[in-house]
Amino acid sequence: MRILYFAWLRERIGTGEEEVAVPAEVNTVGTLVAWMRGRGPAYHAAFAVGNTVRCAVNQEFADPDAVVRDGDEVAFFPPVTGG
């Protein structure tokens, strides 16, 4: 699964992009976020419960219950601030 990070998430995690192999029980955005928290201090801080983190699966905005599968591109980022 390809994971992308933008804005302060990218800075806090220290990379904009990585390939991850997730366990079988990680099959939604919500379970992916919970799994991310356990990957180390930087991930724990970035995905802390109080942070507002948005997600897109295959370039579409996605809710916590959206399905994620091997081969998907999953992006995490703060609420958008363009315009």
Partner 1 sequence: MASIRVQTADFDVSAELAALGAGRQDIGGYGIFVGTVRGNAHGHAISAMTLEHYPAMTERAMARIAAEAERRWDLLGCTLIHRVGVLLPGENIVLVLAASAHRQAALDAAAFLIDWLKTAAPFWKKERFASGEDNWVDAREADDAAAARWGALTAS
Q: Which residues of this protein are in contact with partner 1, per CB under 8 A?
A: 4, 6-8, 52, 56, 59-61, 73, 75, 77-83
DSSP structural state of residue 15: -
Closest separation in Å from C-beta 25 to partner 1: 27
Contact by Cβ (8 Å): 80, 47: no
Closest separation in Å from C-beta 12 to partner 1: 10
Closest separation in Å from C-beta 58 to partner 1: 9
Closest CB to partner 1 among residues 2, 23: 2
Closest CB to partner 1 among residues 20, 61: 61
Closest CB to partner 1 among residues 22, 56: 56
Instruction: Report the b/e string of 36-65 with b at 16+ CB within 10 A.
Output: beeeeeebeebbeeeeebbbbbeeeebeee
